[in-house]
Amino acid sequence: MSWQIVHVTHESPEEEKQGVLRFWSGDYLWATRLRLQAPWGDETYGFVGAFDGGRCVGTTSYTISRRGQGILSQVFTDEAFRGQGIGTATVREAVETFRRHGARAVYLAAWREWVREIYRKVGFVRVGTMGERHAFKLTLDPSGEDENLFRAGQRTQVRRMEAGDQADLSALFNAGHPCVVKHYGLGCFLGSHFEGEFFTLRQQEGRPGFLAVALDGEETAVGFGTVMPSSRRHEGHTGILDLLIHPHYADMTDEVLKALEKGCGLERLWVYVGDSEQEKRRVFERAGYRQVAWLERQVKIETDYYGLTLYEKAVNRGS
């Protein structure tokens, strides 16, 4: 074995940072470069890298929130070094890193069966499916079970999304939700995972009309909502509202909804609701949203189609 395991964080030498960066592009390159300069908020972020001399030939990244929610991601092996067990080695060391940092639960997404098998071997279990994108969870401590993370009766507050929220929001998205639409604006449906979607939201920050709020519990985020303004010409006064609240905190939905409506500053909001989501339909109708269209077979996941109802509401007319 010519390669060795090296941990790469914001404190590492620049050449090691550049080594792990070379595998990434787009949103992941943008986010990774920033996080290797300084972690976002109070998160713990870094890479388990496999280095052959001074060359990085494989990676797995780890993200841990202050409350112990984790994301395992960015698993990649240089094509010339595949078949040597690098992926398995970096994943296993990442799991040990989560343990050392006191992570309670770890989440990830996988598209291909061979890599899913690696995850299953270290203890991950599937918790959701959106087509070929399978969501997995590894519970490292009993306090990381959903029964504790989303237990009823926690003190809650509605606050703006923060830079260190990615892993806590991943826990929320991977919890059981009886809905088709988790987040229309981000394309999250059914049993979808939440990871790179956070990068999309962070890049919206500062844009007029954009707002993201968390319903924060004692253990983790138990609700989340966003308003994403339209990017179409002459439609900047409108936006899509998305709302995901854990069923144990359904009674807080109206409070989160009001915070989004008042805080976004837009004039008209659109909401997409799945045909089977009767409780969500009642929430929006009670709040004054009116049905404007039924979109037959609007969403297609693999061979299955889902119809959506489009609602709208005029808000902040004086703005």
Domains 4-103 and 147-314 share a fold: yes
The average pLDDT across 10-16 equals: 98
Please state, for a pLDDT cut of 70, what percent of the chain lies above it. Answer: 99
Q: How confident is the model at residue 150 (pLDDT cuts 50, 70, 90)?
A: very high
Please state the domain extents for the chain. 4-103, 147-314
Average pLDDT, the chain: 96
Predicted pLDDT at 176 = 81
pLDDT band at 319 (very low <50, low <70, confident <90, very high): very low
**For residues 61-88, average pLDDT:** 96
pLDDT at 53 over 80: yes
Give one DSSP letter per residue of the chain, joined into a string.
---EEEEE-TTS-HHHHHHHHTT--HHHHHHHHHHTTS-STT-EEEEEEEEETTEEEEEEEEEE-TTSEEEEEEEEE-GGGTTSSHHHHHHHHHHHHHHHTT-SEEEEEE-SHHHHHHHHHTT-EEEEEETTEEEEEEE-SGGGSHHHHT-TT---EEEE--TT-HHHHHHHHHS----SEEETTTTEETT---STHHHHHHTTTTSTT-EEEEEE-SSSEEEEEEEEE--STT-TTEEEEEEEE-GGGGGGHHHHHHHHHHHH--SEEEEEEETT-HHHHHHHHHTT-EEEEEEEEEEEETTEEEEEEEEEEE--TT-
Q: Does residue 301 carry a pLDDT above 80?
A: yes
Q: Report in angstroms the alpha-carbon separations of 100 from 19, 38, 72, 97, 103.
A: 24, 21, 14, 5, 8
Can you give the pTM of this predicted structure?
Answer: 0.95
pLDDT value for 318: 54
Q: What is the mean pLDDT of residues 95-109?
A: 98
pLDDT digits (tens, 9 = 90+) for 178-223: 899 999 999 999 999 999 999 999 999 999 999 999 999 999 999 9
Q: Select from 307, 315, 313, 175 the least CA-distant residue to 245.
A: 175
Q: What average pLDDT score do residues 273-277 get?
A: 96
Q: What is the mean pLDDT of residues 248-269?
A: 97
Q: Stretch 280-299: mean pLDDT, rounded?
A: 97
CATH architecture of 147-314: 3-Layer(aba) Sandwich (3.40)
Task: Give the right CATH number for 4-103 from 3.40.47.10, 3.40.630.30, 3.40.50.720, 3.40.1280.10.
Answer: 3.40.630.30
Structure confidence at residue 201 (pLDDT): 98
Q: What is the pLDDT of residue 154?
A: 98
- For residue 263, the model assigns a pLDDT of 97
